[in-house]
Amino acid sequence: ENRPIPEPGPNDVLLRMHSVGICGSDVHYWQHGRIGDFVVKHPMVLGHEASGTVVKVGSGVTHLKPGDRVAIEPGVPREMDEFCKTGRYNLSPTIFFCATPPDDGNLCRYYKHSASYCYKLPDNVTFEEGALIEPLSVGIHACKRAGVTLGSKVFVSGSGPIGLVNVLVAKMMGAAAVVITDLSASRLQKAKEVGADFTIQVKNETPQEVASKVESLLGCMPEITVECTGVQACIQAGIYATRSGGTLVLVGLGPEMVTVPIVNAAVREVDIRGIFRYCNTWPVAIALLTSKRINVKPLVTHRFPLEKALEAFETTKRGEGVKVMLKCDPTDQNP
161-189 pLDDT, tens digit per residue, is 999 999 999 999 999 999 999 999 999 99
pLDDT at 155: 99
| 8 A C-beta contact, residue 195 and residue 178 | yes
Nearest to 249 by CA among 270, 220, 279: 270
- How many Cα neighbours within 13 Å face the side chain of 272? 17
Q: What's CA 314's distance to the chain center, in Å? A: 20
pLDDT at 333: 57
pLDDT at 36: 84
pLDDT over 70 for what percent of the chain?
A: 98
Nearest to 330 by CA among 311, 309, 310: 309
DSSP 81: -
Query: CA-CA distance, 308 to 297, in Å (whole number)?
Result: 22
Q: Please determine, for residue 299, whether its predicted confidence score (pLDDT) is greater than 90.
A: yes
Nearest to 160 by CA among 229, 87, 262: 229
Q: pLDDT band for position 329 (50/70/90)?
A: confident
CA distances from 58 to 62, 98, 105 (A): 9, 20, 20
For the chain, which domains are there?
12-120+296-327 (3.90.180.10), 140-274 (3.40.50.720)
Q: Please determine, for residue 1, whether its predicted confidence score (pLDDT) is greater than 70.
A: no
Q: What are φ and ψ of residue 328, in 5° steps?
A: -90, -15
Whether omega for the bond prior to residue 298 falls within 30 degrees of 0, making it cis, is no
Q: Please determine, for residue 213, whether its predicted confidence score (pLDDT) is greater than 80.
A: yes
Q: pLDDT band for position 321 (50/70/90)?
A: confident
Range 230-246 average pLDDT = 98
Q: Please determine, for residue 330, whether its predicted confidence score (pLDDT) is greater than 80.
A: no
Kindly give the pairing relationship between strand 323-327 and strand 12-21: antiparallel
Q: Please determine, for residue 10, whether its predicted confidence score (pLDDT) is greater than 80.
A: yes
pLDDT at 93: 96
| Region of poorest pLDDT, from 2-16, 86-100, 239-253, 285-299 | 2-16
Model pTM score: 0.96
| 8 A C-beta contact, residue 278 and residue 141 | yes
Helix axes 309-317, 24-32, angle to 10 degrees: 100
Range 133-157 average pLDDT = 98
CA trace torsion 42, 324, 91, 88 (10° rounding): -150
pLDDT (tens digit per residue) in 13-63: 999 999 999 999 999 999 999 998 899 999 999 999 999 999 999 999 999
Q: Please determine, for residue 334, whether its predicted confidence score (pLDDT) is greater than 70.
A: no
Q: Please determine, for residue 327, whether its predicted confidence score (pLDDT) is greater than 70.
A: yes
Asked whether the CA dihedral 325, 309, 104, 322 is positive or negative, the reply is negative
- Over the chain, what is the mean pLDDT? 96
Q: pLDDT band for position 3 (50/70/90)?
A: confident
DSSP for 251-318? -S---S-----HHHHHHTT-EEEE--S-SS-HHHHHHHHHTTSS--GGGEEEEEEGGGHHHHHHHHHT
Range 219-229 average pLDDT = 98
Q: Please determine, for residue 2, whether its predicted confidence score (pLDDT) is greater than 90.
A: no
pLDDT at 37: 87
Q: Please determine, for residue 287, whether its predicted confidence score (pLDDT) is greater than 90.
A: yes
| Region of poorest pLDDT, from 212-226, 276-290, 317-331 | 317-331
